[in-house]
Amino acid sequence: MTVPKEMPEKWARAGAPPSWSRKKPSWGTEEERRARANDREYNEKFQYASNCIKTSKYNILTFLPVNLFEQFQEVANTYFLFLLILQLIPQISSLSWFTTIVPLVLVLTITAVKDATDDYFRHKSDNQVNNRQSQVLINGILQQEQWMNVCVGDIIKLENNQFVAADLLLLSSSEPHGLCYIETAELDGETNMKVRQAIPITSELGDISKLAKFDGEVICEPPNNKLDKFSGTLYWKENKFPLSNQNMLLRGCVLRNTEWCFGLVIFAGPDTKLMQNSGRTKFKRTSIDRLMNTLVLWIFGFLVCMGVILAIGNAIWEHEVGTRFQVYLPWDEAVDSAFFSGFLSFWSYIIILNTVVPISLYVSVEVIRLGHSYFINWDKKMFCMKKRTPAEARTTTLNEELGQVEYIFSDKTGTLTQNIMVFNKCSINGRSYGDVFDVLGHKAELGERPEPVDFSFNPLADKKFLFWDPTLLEAVKMGDPHTHEFFRLLSLCHTVMSEEKSEGELYYKAQSPDEGALVTAARNFGFVFRSRTPKTITVHEMGTAITYQLLAILDFNNIRKRMSVIVRNPEGKIRLYCKGADTILLDRLHHSTQELLNTTTDHLNEYAGEGLRTLVLAYKDLDEEYYEEWAGRRLQASLAQDSREDRLASVYEEVESDMMLLGATAIEDKLQQGVPETIALLTLANIKIWVLTGDKQETAVNIGYSCKMLTDDMTEVFIVTGHTVLEVREELRKAREKMMDSSRAVGNGFTYQEKLSSSRLTSVLEAVAGEYALVINGHSLAHALEADMELEFLETACACKAVICCRVTPLQKAQVVELVKKYKKAVTLAIGDGANDVSMIKTAHIGVGISGQEGIQAVLASDYSFSQFKFLQRLLLVHGRWSYLRMCKFLCYFFYKNFAFTMVHFWFGFFCGFSAQTVYDQYFITLYNIVYTSLPVLAMGVFDQDVPEQRSMEYPKLYEPGQLNLLFNKREFFICIAQGIYTSVLMFFIPYGVFAEATRDDGTQLADYQSFAVTVATSLVIVVSVQIGLDTGYWTAINHFFIWGSLAVYFAILFAMHSNGLFDMFPNQFRFVGNAQNTLAQPTVWLTIMLTTVVCIMPVVAFRFLRLNLKPDLSDTVRYTQLVRKKQKAQHRCMRRVGRTGSRRSGYAFSHQEGFGELIMSGKNMRLSSLALSTFTTRSSSSWIESLRRKKSDSASSPSGGADKPLKG
């Protein structure tokens, strides 16, 4: 190994890092980071990133070209730019260029302004952060520097309550032993204080002169996004020292309760872990977006077909007829044949007919989605007064998908439960504490219990802590050694920070609510954790202060699922204390504890059955010689440059064995308010809820019963606990067999293997009689998610009403969601509150974050957030359903009105020699979509609703059309297109037929091109306005203003464009002076407009009337019921005002109305509870939903795809 020239010779003797090769700059692939203190010249050789951050995308020079380039990445914008270019070619353009450029520029401008505004605020934020001041040690002097000028290798001084400027190695602090306290809210959302500590060799570098001479070099991992891990080594004074995450202060943290500290910059700017974690969330698209992309391609194909038909017509007409009129209608100079004339005509018609897909469609969709998002943000019924937290739509692209959810994947702790932990019970040396018994020996319920335990003997007790079993306190006071050791462990084995604001007033800052509850319990029972330093823990044991030497902390992680501390008591005895999950810890106990283990296991099962969270406690005595030898191996593992985590885990595993069992704790995590009601309501909406939790099986099952996911009325609850692939497969097979046996009517006479190979297996299983639930453990789930078994697991789970997965890892949560997304083709929603839910939230179609006790990482990764699970019912059943309904009605109407508008040109082509002449005035073509018809359809898309919000919650079956995608699909699209084409036919041919023979009042011929254009355009605007009036289900003042206001604006602009004033100013543009006034003054024209309107609208009215009476859907029935109720209330009010004093019978006869008895018998007027709604759908009001659901299930392939065989009959 060679030593570089810059490296002091003494460092080579101390042991150099494994690779001294020159590192690539930070913009390349960096293998390791090297930073030398107080040596900018040396560190600049590596070209590390500066501490200037840039989250903005543009500057003044690049904004226009870059933004336009980004916008033209959109296919629609490129398409309209192509059309604009075509319109600039005189030979093929029969429209002025502004008919396309005005809408295109308007859309590009609106988008650019939005992007510029967003980027301005990003610039502002960047400047604010980059210009913060920091004290940097330069040439032995502390100087004020802006954050952007801080470099790797600089030494920075931080003061209390200051933000950390970069990722720093903590060198020293004002606190003893180089300790400092930080708050990491900007990193992980947790507001609890955390402790960081300088390594002993640098903790004495407290004054400037010593720090100025510090020339240590850090060799560490390259920049990465792992917030909880850091691996590095400090080389200084011929020695090397291991560095871990406990020695690091990350950018975004805030220094708390520490007067000052010094740190060495390791990562700066974009290399910091905060910036490495600021990657963009995966872009999610809705099913309607994907369908629209397909439909737009179909429309474009239809447009091309129309262009080809008209082009062929032009070629034939020019060949057969046009050649006879060359004197009057000569070809353009470039046209030399009828074929070439048809070719040019094709492009002309592509330009004219392009309005079947107007650019305003995309803008309108985004405006509507933005409005729906604001409704969610402004909903006071989703505002949590306790936390002052509103609901927040963190995206605007998924609102309508909220109305189509079929599967909900929920975390348990903090999502279904409150994540506020209470020490409830414990087991110590085989005896269970926490239950209270009456004089007859029966367990007392909470309301029957006596006063809670009196902790007045302990002046440091937390007055909020309640415990009901006095025998535990008696055992403590009697000096029971096992009980004392139990609480001693709880007071020592933790990472809680203690803050004492005044004498005796202790405040604990815990990283998890569980840990805080356990330390508080120990405090009240006389073992008070008082303070800690990096090397000591001080505990007041029954009033006596005892300081333990802290030798090691074996920290908790998701793989170990336990934590340990090694301490030396004042007598010099070394002991390891450990607490952790029972599944992990019980396998690491000494064999001599078997009898105690059996008793404690019984207690654990009892606690878990009550829905309590359990931990097992154990200890182990270590002799001095063994500890010294083990500590040496631990040091070697911590210094390893590669696989450091694995090596440390192996060393920890060795010492955490043959431990002695002390007992177990049981903590209560109560259900959130409204959880059972929410789950019941969502289940009635045909939404399946799966709970994915890290808790043990018994606890999760008990919570399942508490929140009514599991009920005693269920046919069977299947529990899968197999440890091998074969065991899991067999358990799943038996579950399916039991479900199939209960539904012989579906598959009587078939062998099981025939059913398994059926392409309709999923629908067969989902149609089984009875209600089932599936509970599966994490180790079984690992096998069930393997490629050869995932389908069997999915088919079994989807046939169950409820699914609970226990002991699952964050990765398994995401895998389960991905499995359902992949094979069921259903909209999925994941909801959680912790960092372990982030992967699940990002994987699902819709991610919802609960802003709870575990920080805000889940919220930051989510699409929607609120503070309580119960708000989910309102998000889906009200906002989601309305958003889906509004978007579907908007799209149906939009395609209708544009086909009605555009297809008139197609029919006109057959009467104008296929010359690409337009029917309408070019200004009307320009303004139709952006002025005359834009606002009414926007108002409907933003405000419309079929039933009020109370009815949406009262009748959850109303949610099902969204799940089945009934309101906008290919069939509905073709119906809208057919209606638009029908309207266009009448719109053209009725005025055409009338004008052929009509005359004016003075007897002159009525027919002329401009009069015809005005008549058709006026008919169109009136017809589409009446149509949107029919489509609007909920009228507001805004709807009235926009609809009637748009009509008024149309007439105002029409008369203005045919006025003398505009002709005087622009004589070449506005030649037809007085045409609109003269045309609309003719009674024949108004009769034509009225006839066209009636003939266009009446079939729609008739069809809807017949459907409402013969085959109403559930929303029609609910609206009718609501009208009847209003009528009843009005009649009762009238009856009270009459004030009759006669018999009650006459009063009844007065309020009675004909046909009401039949209504009662039909059940349509009954105010049904949510629970009764499952039987409400037996009548025609929703039978169509059920039949379509069965049809959908029958036609859907099983997840296994086309390889499966159909059921044999």
Q: Under a CB-based contact definition with an 8 Å cutoff, are residues 170 and 263 in contact?
A: yes
pLDDT tens-digit map of 375-401: 999 999 999 888 788 999 988 888 999
Is the model more confident about 444 or about 751?
444
Q: Which pLDDT belongs to residue 342?
A: 87
Q: Which pLDDT belongs to residue 1069?
A: 74
Confidence class for position 998, pLDDT limits 50, 70, 90: confident
Q: Which residue has the tokens 């008793």?
A: 599
pLDDT at residue 135 greater than cutoff 70? yes
Q: Which pLDDT belongs to residue 282?
A: 59
Query: Residue 161, by phi and psi: left (phi above 0), alpha (psi -120 to 50) or beta?
Result: left
What SS3 state is found at 783?
helix
Q: Which residue has the tokens 């929410």?
A: 678
555-560 mean pLDDT: 74
Q: Which pLDDT belongs to residue 1142?
A: 36
Confidence class for position 1009, pLDDT limits 50, 70, 90: confident
Q: Catalytic residue among 188, 271, 411, 863, which? A: 411
Average pLDDT for the chain: 82
pLDDT at residue 22 greater than cutoff 60? no
Q: Which residue has the tokens 């579950």?
A: 735
Confidence class for position 518, pLDDT limits 50, 70, 90: very high
Residue 485 in tokens = 């050791």
Confidence class for position 334, pLDDT limits 50, 70, 90: low
Q: Which pLDDT belongs to residue 359?
A: 74
* DSSP string over 752-777: HHHHHTBTTHHHHHHT-SS-EEEEE-
Q: Which pLDDT belongs to residue 123?
A: 87
Distance between CA atoms of residues 63 and 61, nearest Å: 6
Q: Which of 424-433, 736-745, 1039-1048, 1111-1120 has the lowest mean pLDDT?
A: 736-745
Distance between CA atoms of residues 549 and 747, nearest Å: 70
Find, among 789, 787, 837, 792, the residue nearest to 817 by Cα: 837
pLDDT at residue 450 greater than cutoff 70? no
Query: Residue 613, by phi and psi: left (phi above 0), alpha (psi -120 to 50) or beta?
Result: beta
Q: Which pLDDT belongs to residue 985?
A: 96
Q: What is the DSSP letter of 372?
A: H
Asked about 411 being catalytic, the answer comes back as yes
pLDDT at residue 108 greater than cutoff 50? yes
pLDDT tens-digit map of 811-824: 788 889 999 998 98
Q: Which pLDDT belongs to residue 1135?
A: 56
Q: Which pLDDT belongs to residue 1136?
A: 53
Confidence class for position 10, pLDDT limits 50, 70, 90: very low
Angle formed at CA 651 by CA 649 and CA 653, multiple of 5 degrees: 65
User: Strand pairing partners for 408?
Assistant: 689, 829
99-123 mean pLDDT: 80
523-541 mean pLDDT: 90
pLDDT tens-digit map of 928-949: 988 899 999 999 999 999 888 9
Distance between CA atoms of residues 272 and 230, nearest Å: 12
pLDDT at residue 1159 greater than cutoff 70? no
Q: Which pLDDT belongs to residue 688?
A: 92
* DSSP string over 706-762: HTTSS-TTSSEEEEE--SSHHHHHHHHHHHHHHHHHTTHHHHTT--HHHHHTBTTHH
Confidence class for position 428, pLDDT limits 50, 70, 90: very high
Distance between CA atoms of residues 541 and 838, nearest Å: 41
Q: Which pLDDT belongs to residue 705?
A: 82
Q: Which pLDDT belongs to residue 377?
A: 92
1086-1099 mean pLDDT: 95
* DSSP string over 836-859: GGHHHHHHSSEEEEE-SSS-SHHH
pLDDT at residue 6 greater than cutoff 50? no
Distance between CA atoms of residues 590 and 655, nearest Å: 12
Is the model more confident about 26 or about 515?
515
Is the model more confident about 1004 or about 1086?
1086
Is the model more confident about 620 or about 1007?
620
Confidence class for position 24, pLDDT limits 50, 70, 90: very low
769-786 mean pLDDT: 87
User: Strand pairing partners for 866?
Assistant: 850
pLDDT tens-digit map of 565-575: 999 999 999 99
pLDDT at residue 351 greater than cutoff 50? yes
Q: Which pLDDT belongs to residue 1113?
A: 85
pLDDT at residue 545 greater than cutoff 70? yes
Distance between CA atoms of residues 932 and 901, nearest Å: 12
Is the model more confident about 757 or about 642?
642
1021-1029 mean pLDDT: 96
Q: Which pLDDT belongs to residue 856?
A: 66
1037-1049 mean pLDDT: 95
pLDDT at residue 21 greater than cutoff 70? no
Q: Which pLDDT belongs to residue 1197?
A: 43
pLDDT at residue 439 greater than cutoff 60? no
Query: Residue 847, by phi and psi: left (phi above 0), alpha (psi -120 to 50) or beta?
Result: beta
pLDDT tens-digit map of 39-89: 999 999 999 999 998 878 888 888 999 888 888 877 777 777 887 887 787
Residue 291 in tokens = 């369908």
Q: Under a CB-based contact definition with an 8 Å cutoff, are residues 408 and 682 in contact?
A: yes
Q: Which residues contact 587 (CB under 8 A, 6 or more apart)?
A: none
786-810 mean pLDDT: 89
Q: Which pLDDT belongs to residue 1032?
A: 92
